[in-house]
Structure 1
Amino acid sequence: MSNHFQPRSLKRSRYVPLNLEDYDISPTNGFLPSGQPVRRLSDPYYEPWEQIMDRFNQYLLAHHIRRQVRKMPVLDTSKLTSQAEYQRAFMILSFMAHAFVWGRNGAASEPAAEFLPASISIPWVATAEYLQLNPVVCCAAVCHWNWQILDPGAKDPMDIDNLGTLYTFSGSMDESWFYLVTTAMEAKSARGLNAILDAIIGVEDNNIARVTHALNEIAHSLRDCNRLLERMYERCDPYVFYWKIREFLAGWENMAEAGLPYGVLYEGVDDTDTFSLDNWQSLIRRFRKYAGGSAAQTPLLQAFDIALGIKHYPTGEKGLQSSVDDARRRLQQRGVPEPPTANSYLVRMRDYMPGGHRRFLEDLASICRIREYVLLVCSDAFLQVGNEQDPRVVMRQSYNACVDLMKSFRDKHIMIVTRYILAQAKNGPSISAPTVTPVSSHIIPRAAHEQAMAQKPTAFQPGGRLGGDSLPADPTMYPQTNAHAAKQTISVSAGQSSSHQPSSPAQSTAKNARLARKVDDESVVRGTGGTDAIQFLKQVRNETAHTRI
């Protein structure tokens, strides 16, 4: 069989072009909405939410956010009138929820909240189900649906210097800029998304010139992304990001070290009103664990990975990029989906994307054969050593330029994580944080605990509703004769466990139990998504580099 690409062998009848708008993707703004996000929900019914958001930063600064949220009524989401209103509802509920959980506001004795009141959890879960993503802060909430155009008459309305945020946790310029860098990337990459679909048509038509032009357009978008990422340093200070902003973006998965060993309970959801303290294990199973906001949640980078055939593998494992034989085999299987990327974290992050965007990635993987096409067209050995005027060589160079730009972007991302997270965590704050007094750091007799519960209301009363922010001490911590119970294990990181007694939620409020803290040289610094951030990013970067042809 000839090494040359044989267009006659393709099963072209199974190809159906993708339409971006079918997936709630804007041809002009990419994964952002085509129009500006809604600034206020139209029905006065939702004024309790809007009134809190009117003074959100003031409430958070004054330690009033939990008090205000507890006073909110449980509102029904049926009065939301459009996709844009559901997006706004999800966004503002996300800000309120994470402010409630993490909003200690410098109060040393105030732990992270281990439950969300029904006034947030019920409508938040409902809007999340409508938008088909997880109820937790995500890239869509803080970047895709949290922007405004400052001057609609500007030459480029979506230029980063013409954008503002609607909300931040800290009220700082640094946090706004952190979000806007991603928002501007999404808008600038609409050109690249259109080019991906054009390249797929070029492959179908065996049109080398069209594929090459599309690859050059993808490269243009990737250069824009690189330039925007470099601008992060302009207006987002690493100290402010790590010590004042980052914790609010964290989720409740792998966050035992930050005060949430079990996750968070969503009151009024998953039958949280029917448990009893006599059945602790049943209660534990009702906690929800979600990763926090992460760059891995933007569908943009995963779309470029799929388009360029960049494969990622489980962290710590090595894999191989496709060969010429693999490419030939896959090009014969039109309409057969590409197996999802083997890195389970990246696959899971799609659950934090709106449903349409997630489906786009899945459908794109089933039809995109750009790398396979370049491999087969450029498989002759003589094309590797020269002949720069050959259209096939030019196409390969255009493809490799895209891969190089993806690697460059990931190099820059690693540098930012190193400067904004690792360096801050290793060096510690410039101003010492107050000592956190543990709520309970010793084993107490059950009788004494029950007496304390009778005298002072706790978060949970047997057979009752949620009433506070933290759980009572874990019943498994009381002296017991069950030797097996004393040897329980709990997860401490992704894929790892530690054979020690599980600490109670109350005990998790011990000194330095928060995400933003100084760590020693041997400690793992986790991203807000709960991963070992630097190890994950370095492997993703190296896998990208190995994709060159």
Structure 2
Amino acid sequence: MKLSDYDMSASRGFLSHFQIVDIDLPDIFVPVVEAAENLSGLMTTGRIRHWLDRLPALDLTEWAANAPEEQVRVAMVRYSFLVQAYVWGESDAPTALPANLARPIVALADRLDQAPLLPYSGYVLDNWAQLDSSGPIALDNVYMVQNFYGGADENWFVLIHVAIEAAAAPLLDLACHLVEAVKAEDTARTTALLEDMEGHWDKVNAIFDRMPDRCDPYIYYQRVRPYIHGWANNPALPDGLIYEGVEKYAGKGQSFRGQTGSQSSIVPSMDALFQVQHGHDPLRNFLDELHAYRPAQHRRFIEDLREQSKLREFAIASGDPALRAAFNASVEQVARFRTRHLEYAASYINKQASNGKGNDTEVGTGGTPFMKYLKKHRDENRAQLI
């Protein structure tokens, strides 16, 4: 396995290989980009739909099928934010998405083999840029390009994820090398790679610990979270959302999962590498469903890693104390990451007061109950220690 086979690298991992600000869209997108760049201003008027209804109805079917993928992904970022703003930017959710938004985002999503709403890839992986292109992808050198209302809390929430994805990139490269080391039955190299992995996990977890620095739980709940929900298992859209003008949906409401950090491919990759097994429960079923929302190349990486990794079996069979210790240390680091996620779910969501439809404290933005299952999955992670 090589990261380059999956449009990935040891410096960026799952992050885009391009920066959104370097990709120009054709002139037909000018009004769309202008609306997206002024989204905060449009939303503040309280009548976001009035403004978005004025956008031209672009037929992107042929363009999306043939344009460079980088352009399609940038267009997806812009349109997916506009779609979310249309649905959640006023007090009551609409029953339908107008054709001038519905048809373009479906064309873009079809090209990318993703769902036609805001994905984690559009929210995080493709939605960042460096202030100094010669510097690192780190919290003091990146900014969020497309947002909803903007502000430090919204930006910081996304940028923490960007920085985590960058810091996790070496872990994914090490995972590829570990697959090869195990195939070669090289105990010493496998141990060394795992020991190296633990140090990178320290960096990832240190970044995750910084979420509260500039993202307040109350502000997150009131001004960030409401706009990233989907239309599955959402009481505000019990019959889903109708995509007007999209023939394949035949006028029927569609129920898609919302953007969530659980669409990140880091932890599923580690579960695949360490051969972590989770029992069947609503969150497991939900996470399995979310796999289809990831970029196609990232899905393939996880699937290939799951198929090829024999790391846990090798560590057990080797009987080598150093290898087992290194294996357990990295598994524990993933459990530590999951513990922090559980703590944030409690403080940023569960402890916040209910804020009406679509912002339920018991249901995640992806549309599933989460608290007890996050703990269960963390415990199942730790149960893989050998």
What TM-score bracket applies, with the shorter chain setting the length?
A: over 0.9
Q: C-alpha distance in 2, partners of 1:354/1:260?
A: 26
Match of 1:238 among 217, 220, 226: 217
Match of 1:373 among 275, 297, 314: 314
Q: Which residue of 2 aligns with 1:90?
A: 76
Shift in Å at residue 54 of structure 1?
Answer: 2.7
The DSSP-based 3-state class of the residue aligned with 2:143 is strand
The DSSP-based 3-state class of the residue aligned with 2:193 is helix
What pairs with 1:155-194 in structure 2 (closer than 5 Å)?
Answer: 157-194=136-173
Identity of aligned residues (%): 30
Q: 1:165-203: per-residue Cα shift (whole Å, max 9, x none)? A: 002212111011111111111111111111011111111
Q: C-alpha distance in 2, partners of 1:79/1:229?
A: 39
Q: TM-score, normalised by structure 2?
A: 0.95
Query: Runs of 4+ in structure 1 displaced over 2 angstroms?
Result: 37-42, 76-81
Q: Which residue of 1 aligns with 2:96?
A: 115
Q: C-alpha distance in 1, partners of 2:247/2:28?
A: 26
Question: Cα distance 1:143–1:367, how it changes in 2: closer, same or farther (>3 A)?
Answer: same
Match of 1:265 among 242, 245, 270: 242
Q: Which residue of 2 aligns with 1:130?
A: 111
Q: Which residue of 1 aligns with 2:125?
A: 144
Q: C-alpha distance in 1, partners of 2:198/2:289?
A: 27
Shift in Å at residue 220 of structure 1?
Answer: 2.3
The answer (yes or no) to whether the contact 2:79–2:101 under 8 Å persists in 1 is: yes
The DSSP-based 3-state class of the residue aligned with 1:358 is helix
Q: Which residue of 2 aligns with 1:542?
A: 379
Q: Which residue of 1 aligns with 2:32?
A: 49
The answer (yes or no) to whether the contact 1:264–1:289 under 8 Å persists in 2 is: yes
Q: 1:49-79: per-residue Cα shift (whole Å, max 9, x none)? A: 1121231110011124212221112213344
Q: 1:483-504: per-residue Cα shift (whole Å, max 9, x none)? A: xxxxxxxxxxxxxxxxxxxxxx
The DSSP-based 3-state class of the residue aligned with 2:278 is coil
Shift in Å at residue 516 of structure 1?
Answer: 3.1
Which amino acid letter does the alignment assign opposite residue 90 of structure 1?
Answer: M
Q: C-alpha distance in 1, partners of 2:27/2:337?
A: 44
Q: Which residue of 2 aligns with 1:399?
A: 327
Q: C-alpha distance in 2, partners of 1:131/1:24?
A: 14
Gaps of 5+ in 2: none
Shift in Å at residue 45 of structure 1?
Answer: 1.2
Which amino acid letter does the alignment assign opposite residue 272 of structure 2?
Answer: I
Q: TM-score, normalised by structure 1?
A: 0.67
Question: Cα distance 1:264–1:211, how it changes in 2: closer, same or farther (>3 A)?
Answer: same
Gaps of 5+ in 1: 1-17, 105-109, 275-282, 317-341, 379-391, 430-511, 518-523
The answer (yes or no) to whether the contact 1:249–1:292 under 8 Å persists in 2 is: yes
The answer (yes or no) to whether the contact 1:307–1:368 under 8 Å persists in 2 is: yes
Which amino acid letter does the alignment assign opposite residue 230 of structure 1?
Answer: D
Whichever of the two has the greater Rg, that structure is 1
The DSSP-based 3-state class of the residue aligned with 1:252 is coil
Q: Which residue of 1 aligns with 2:359?
A: 516
Higher deviation after alignment, 71-80 or 207-216: 71-80
The answer (yes or no) to whether the contact 1:160–1:181 under 8 Å persists in 2 is: yes
Shift in Å at residue 40 of structure 1?
Answer: 5.5
Structure (1/2) with the larger helix percentage: 2
Match of 2:290 among 325, 349, 352: 349
Across the two proteins, how many residue pairs are aligned to each other? 383
Match of 2:201 among 222, 226, 231: 222
The answer (yes or no) to whether the contact 2:25–2:75 under 8 Å persists in 1 is: no
Are 1:247 and 2:226 matched, yes or no? yes
Are 1:408 and 2:336 matched, yes or no? yes
Shift in Å at residue 294 of structure 1?
Answer: 1.3
The answer (yes or no) to whether the contact 1:147–1:165 under 8 Å persists in 2 is: yes
The DSSP-based 3-state class of the residue aligned with 1:148 is strand
The DSSP-based 3-state class of the residue aligned with 1:310 is coil
The answer (yes or no) to whether the contact 1:38–1:85 under 8 Å persists in 2 is: no
Match of 1:315 among 281, 300, 303: 281
Q: 1:83-136: per-residue Cα shift (whole Å, max 9, x none)? A: 1111111111110000000001xxxxx411121111111111111111111112
Which amino acid letter does the alignment assign opposite residue 349 of structure 2?
Answer: I
The DSSP-based 3-state class of the residue aligned with 1:211 is helix
Shift in Å at residue 394 of structure 1?
Answer: 0.8
Q: C-alpha distance in 1, partners of 2:80/2:9?
A: 24
